[in-house]
Amino acid sequence: MAVNKRARGAQYPLIQEYVFNFNDGVANLSSLTAASVDNVPKSGVTDFGSKASPVGLMSGVVYTPNGMSAAPTYFELFSMPVNAQIIGGELQIEAPYVGPSTVTLAIGDVNSGALYLAAQTLKAASWTNAPTGITNATANDPTLMTITNSTANGVAVGNVITISGCTGASAAYNGVFIADTASTTQVTCRNAALTTSLTLAGTPAGTFIAGRTALLIPAEATNQGGYATLVNTGYDAAAGAEVRGTLTFGDTTAATQGRVRVRIMYTIDGRMNEVQTT
């Protein structure tokens, strides 16, 4: 049998981020399993849904407008170093997509396009019932915005909410915010643009979407310690393998909004205290 001792070492987790806007350019792949763009000099470039050429393209680079629903957009998110063990990550929607009927993002690798995240919507849903009132009458903190309606609205704490339709001076209520509190009839959030109490004008409308979604890290069997069914808490990325994204659109309508952040966390061969046979 083995003797288990205290951990012999430690290391910081490493974090990478990939951020894209709807009108950014990307060196896209022809398929999920296509060779890395690093191996294709001056590879073709497309957009993330704007159907408009990004600025700053190098001479000789060919831009092709995104075909939207004609085919998914495959692209590389992260290149993993040798012995990387992925232990976590998340998808963060900073501004939901607007325009196409549907927009989804899956995250995986060359073997499985949804290994870490099944297709997740990047479009917001409308409130179950439109907001009927918006105030920021708190004397000591005018940035605290309270949005009310008479029946359930479907919003949850942490959701990204978008308010539109407010007019006149109350147009300052329009924007993208994070729900700090949520009940069936009320949502509160912070709006840094507000400096004084306003009176609502216009017909407000609201949408919401999950702000953050954790990546699913596959369990992995190991034969360390003599037990072939032991499960690790990380996933060994193949040496030099990329984490890839698959962006899929429901129609050919150009996007007019959208900003997404993907984070991944990993260690380098992080099994610091795994039992060894003696």
Same domain, 109 and 223: yes
Instruction: Using DSSP, state whether 39 is helix, strand or coil.
Output: helix
Same domain, 203 and 225: no
Q: The domain containing residue 225 runs over which residues?
A: 14-27+41-55+68-116+215-268
Dump pLDDT digits (tens) for 159-191: 999 999 999 999 999 999 999 999 989 999 999
Q: What pTM was estimated for this model as a whole?
A: 0.81
CATH code for the domain of 173 = 2.40.30.20
Dump pLDDT digits (tens) for 196-215: 999 999 999 999 999 899 99
Instruction: Using DSSP, state whether 47 is helix, strand or coil.
Output: strand
Q: Is residue 277 part of a domain?
A: no
Same domain, 143 and 97: no
Same domain, 180 and 148: yes
**pLDDT given for residue 272 in this prediction:** 46
3-state helix, strand, coil in the chain (%, to 5): 5, 40, 50
Same domain, 132 and 85: no
Q: Is residue 77 part of a domain?
A: yes
Measure Cα distances from 220 to 63, 235, 270 in Å. 40, 6, 14
Q: Is residue 239 part of a domain?
A: yes
Domain count, the chain: 2
Q: Is residue 79 part of a domain?
A: yes
Q: Is residue 60 part of a domain?
A: no
